[in-house]
Chain A
Amino acid sequence: MTTSPSPTYSMAMPGKRFPRISLGILLVLPALTAITLLYALPLLRSLVTAFRDNDGGWTTDHLVRAFSLYGRDVLFSIGVVSAALVLIAVISIAIAGYLVLGTTPWAVRFLRWLYRWPLFIPFVVSGQIARSFLSTNGMMNGVLIETGLMMSESAQSFLDWRGLVLTFAWKQIPFVTLLLAGAMAAIDRSHIEAARNMGASRLRCLFGIILPQAAPTLWVGLILSLVAMLSVLSVPMMLIAGNPTMMTSMMAHRITYYGDYGVANALGLFSYALTAVTAWIYLRLTLRREVAS
């Protein structure tokens, strides 16, 4: 747009060059302003708040206090999220793999129809469903006892870290599967057929040919899921009563009961750090792939 004015033109009116460049800036300005005001500034502000004391001086107090008070919750969050991510990865690979490689047409069609449902259910409702499904007198235990698979005395509540992992996975698997199945379907059919022709079973095909080509998409899905899980408040609030719990719960607690934005923002910082590390790993992986090819 602002590039390469013809030589005669710029020689004749050298003074015009500057306004033409600023016109370009003018064009991106609305978008730039929106991003700055709506995203960059609040983010920066919350980062800064994490390092400010009440008098406006710089401090690492919040960070230290956040970690001493909620260190266990941070570790708990990392544990829950990691377990959920592993579960999400395994199951979405299995579903997407079956959608691409399955040979029973009706089963593939049925699965394609079925797996998306949780996508349309909000986290709050997922939490509610999980509550009534996983509690001591919930549906899961009810069914297990009814069918005689479990004694009623040994019924226990799953409303702890296991409930969180299961609920997060249940909510995020369809999303990651949707992305992954799309990426897998985009792979040239002949790549799969060539592998099978060379003697690869369907399972070998999945892990040797399909997954390596769809892996970048899987990473994107997992990182987005990580961000979603770290920012959901309703599910941990509904499923977990005591300690330890997810960082989001503690942040909300800190703000609503103490008005303590410093510690809350310090906890937020841990979340950023966690997603940043994952994103960095992802970028490293994809960059290496691009350099190699």
Chain B
Amino acid sequence: MSTEALTLNDVTIDLRQKRILENIHLDVAPGSFTCLLGPSGCGKTTLLRAIAGFTPLSRGDIRLGRRSITHLPPEKRQTAMVFQSYALWPHMSVGENLGYPLKLRGVPREERVRKVAAMLERMELGGFESRTVTQLSGGQRQRIALGRALIIDPPLLLLDEPLSNLDAAIRRSLRSELRRLQKSLGITTIMVTHDQEEALQMADQIVLMRGGHIVQVAPPQTLYHQPADLAAARFLGVDNTVTRQTSDPAMASAATTFGFRTRDALINAPQHPAMLTRKGRVTECVYTGDGYQVSLSTERAELCATSATPIAPGTFAVVQVPQSALIPFGPDDRHLPPLDRQEDIA
């Protein structure tokens, strides 16, 4: 089956008289990797389940390629979903788990065995056919669940936090493995995550969600450097905001607030007029591995910055942020200049 585009139009979902998702518009290009990113409870899983057919829409339309799948039951949608819990069937062996989707499609036995073996080989779990799923490690289960989803050549792959049950080291290696696999298959993929680093590393396009709405749809670089508003910026690690002063760099003249990341703020660097500068008293200095994270209390705000050397609390210090690292926001807390409509759909 060839990979297909996915289009969501005005998707709205109510569960128990409560609006969970409202007015979701989204275009996913064929063969692309899209991440749904957002804080807990914002409706990412609900959106993914709606695409798979487990949550009915109150309004709107979902299209896979040219056909509408809005009213199809889950088993007719041909979307392959990997569940956060993996949902491997405990009464079946690894081989039977992988072969079941093929069995449902009436694939003859020999071909099934061959395909299962090939998939296990691809997942680097060759010869695992007769193992029971309870004997597998978390990472192995994850790969079996992925293999089970991919074995039917689905037009669309849906992943619900597939890596969040794994420890940090496996997660990092599986990230690139998963991305490589996705690229080689060219399958349209939507992955839910609440880990911004994961989304930034893997996605072609990130859908930032909040409270049942889409806040921003953008490629990782754009999202990272031009978050749609202050709240989105905070979610993406912009932990410092300062109110604009007249002495500040003359960029984005309508901006009232600047945001910047701690790692871009330097302590006691040589003074430079093109940088945003604040003075304050050091309240805390902690070692972070790459250097020291210094907290300062300035006249208007608490700021954080990085320093190569430790700085004694109580001393005065100067924070400087290069102009390129400043993110300007208008009086309504939205990014300046306004992002074009295409990227900012909500």
Which residues of A pack against B, CB within 8 Å? 188, 190-191, 193-201, 204, 208-209, 212-213, 289, 292-293
CA distance A200 to B149 in the complex (A): 13
Which residues of the other chain, B, contact A212 by a CB distance below 8 angstroms? 91
CA distance A190 to B53 in the complex (A): 13
Which residues of the other chain, B, contact A188 by a CB distance below 8 angstroms? 85, 87
Which residues of the other chain, A, contact B76 by a CB distance below 8 angstroms? 199
Query: Which listed residue, B74, B90, B134, touches A196 by the CB 8 Å rule?
Result: B74
Instruction: Give, as a whole number of angstroms, the nearest-CB distance from B5 to chain A.
Output: 20
**Main SS at interface, chain A:** helix
Is B132 in contact with chain A by the CB < 8 A criterion? yes
Tell me if B134 and A293 are in contact (CB < 8 A): yes
Tell me if A197 and B104 are in contact (CB < 8 A): no
Tell me if B101 and A209 are in contact (CB < 8 A): no
List 14 additional contacts besides A199-B104, A201-B75; criterion CB under 8 Å: A188-B85, A191-B87, A193-B52, A193-B54, A193-B74, A193-B83, A193-B87, A194-B89, A194-B148, A197-B74, A198-B149, A198-B152, A292-B132, A293-B90
Instruction: Give 22 A-B contacts (CB < 8 Å), ordered by A residue.
Output: A188-B87, A193-B81, A193-B83, A194-B83, A194-B89, A194-B148, A196-B53, A196-B75, A197-B74, A197-B75, A197-B77, A197-B79, A197-B80, A198-B75, A198-B148, A199-B78, A199-B101, A199-B152, A200-B100, A201-B75, A212-B91, A292-B132
Which residues of B pack against A, CB within 8 Å? 52-54, 73-81, 83-85, 87, 89-91, 100-101, 104-105, 132, 134, 148-149, 152
The answer to whether residues A197 and B81 also contact, given A208-B100, A292-B132, A293-B134 and a CB cut-off of 8 A, is yes
CA distance A194 to B82 in the complex (A): 8
The answer to whether residues A200 and B75 also contact, given A194-B81, A195-B100 and a CB cut-off of 8 A, is yes
Instruction: Give, as a whole number of angstroms, the nearest-CB distance from A292 to chain B.
Output: 7
Query: Which listed residue, A197, A213, A289, A293, touches B52 by the CB 8 Å rule?
Result: A197
Instruction: Give, as a whole number of angstroms, the nearest-CB distance from A151 to chain B.
Output: 44
Query: Which listed residue, A204, A213, A292, touches B104 by the CB 8 Å rule?
Result: A204
Instruction: Give, as a whole number of angstroms, the nearest-CB distance from B107 to chain A.
Output: 11
Which residues of the other chain, A, contact B105 by a CB distance below 8 angstroms? 199
Query: Which listed residue, B85, B100, B132, B134, touches A198 by the CB 8 Å rule?
Result: B100
Which residues of the other chain, B, contact A208 by a CB distance below 8 angstroms? 100
Instruction: Give, as a whole number of angstroms, the nearest-CB distance from A276 to chain B.
Output: 27
CA distance A213 to B87 in the complex (A): 13
Closest to B76 in A: A199
The answer to whether residues A190 and B85 also contact, given A198-B101, A292-B132 and a CB cut-off of 8 A, is yes
Instruction: Give, as a whole number of angstroms, the nearest-CB distance from A278 to chain B.
Output: 22
Instruction: Give, as a whole number of angstroms, the nearest-CB distance from B244 to chain A.
Output: 50
Which residues of the other chain, B, contact A289 by a CB distance below 8 angstroms? 91
CA distance A125 to B75 in the complex (A): 46
Instruction: Give, as a whole number of angstroms, the nearest-CB distance from A227 to chain B.
Output: 27
Instruction: Give, as a whole number of angstroms, the nearest-CB distance from A102 to chain B.
Output: 13
CA distance A194 to B85 in the complex (A): 10
CA distance A208 to B97 in the complex (A): 11
CA distance A249 to B85 in the complex (A): 54
Tell me if B74 and A293 are in contact (CB < 8 A): no
Which residues of the other chain, A, contact B79 by a CB distance below 8 angstroms? 197
Which residues of the other chain, A, contact B132 by a CB distance below 8 angstroms? 292-293
CA distance A194 to B104 in the complex (A): 13
Tell me if B81 and A213 are in contact (CB < 8 A): no
Which residues of the other chain, B, contact A199 by a CB distance below 8 angstroms? 75-76, 78, 101, 104-105, 152
Closest to A292 in B: B132
Which residues of the other chain, A, contact B83 by a CB distance below 8 angstroms? 190, 193-194
CA distance A196 to B134 in the complex (A): 22
Instruction: Give, as a whole number of angstroms, the nearest-CB distance from B104 to chain A.
Output: 5
Which residues of the other chain, B, contact A201 by a CB distance below 8 angstroms? 75
List 8 A-B pairs, minimum CB-CB distance, nearest first.
A190-B87, A194-B87, A198-B101, A196-B74, A212-B91, A190-B83, A199-B104, A197-B81
CA distance A193 to B81 in the complex (A): 9
Closest to B78 in A: A199
Which residues of the other chain, B, contact A200 by a CB distance below 8 angstroms? 75, 100, 104
Tell me if B87 and A198 are in contact (CB < 8 A): no
Which residues of the other chain, A, contact B84 by a CB distance below 8 angstroms? 190
Closest to A208 in B: B100
Query: Which listed residue, B54, B89, B101, touches A191 by the CB 8 Å rule?
Result: B89
Tell me if A213 and B75 are in contact (CB < 8 A): no
Which residues of the other chain, A, contact B87 by a CB distance below 8 angstroms? 188, 190-191, 193-194
CA distance A213 to B84 in the complex (A): 21
Which residues of the other chain, B, contact A193 by a CB distance below 8 angstroms? 52, 54, 74, 81, 83, 87
CA distance A90 to B298 in the complex (A): 75
Instruction: Give, as a whole number of angstroms, the nearest-CB distance from B14 to chain A.
Output: 15
CA distance A193 to B45 in the complex (A): 14
CA distance A60 to B217 in the complex (A): 86
The answer to whether residues A198 and B80 also contact, given A190-B85, A208-B100 and a CB cut-off of 8 A, is yes
CA distance A70 to B74 in the complex (A): 56
Tell me if A213 and B100 are in contact (CB < 8 A): no
Interface centre among A190, A200, A213 (most CB of B within 10 A): A190
CA distance A209 to B104 in the complex (A): 12
Interface centre among A191, A195, A197 (most CB of B within 10 A): A197
CA distance A204 to B89 in the complex (A): 14
Tell me if A209 and B89 are in contact (CB < 8 A): yes
Instruction: Give, as a whole number of angstroms, the nearest-CB distance from B131 to chain A.
Output: 10
Instruction: Give, as a whole number of angstroms, the nearest-CB distance from B231 to chain A.
Output: 32
Instruction: Give, as a whole number of angstroms, the nearest-CB distance from A105 to chain B.
Output: 11
Which residues of the other chain, B, contact A197 by a CB distance below 8 angstroms? 52-53, 74-75, 77, 79-81
Interface centre among A198, A212, A292 (most CB of B within 10 A): A198
CA distance A289 to B92 in the complex (A): 11
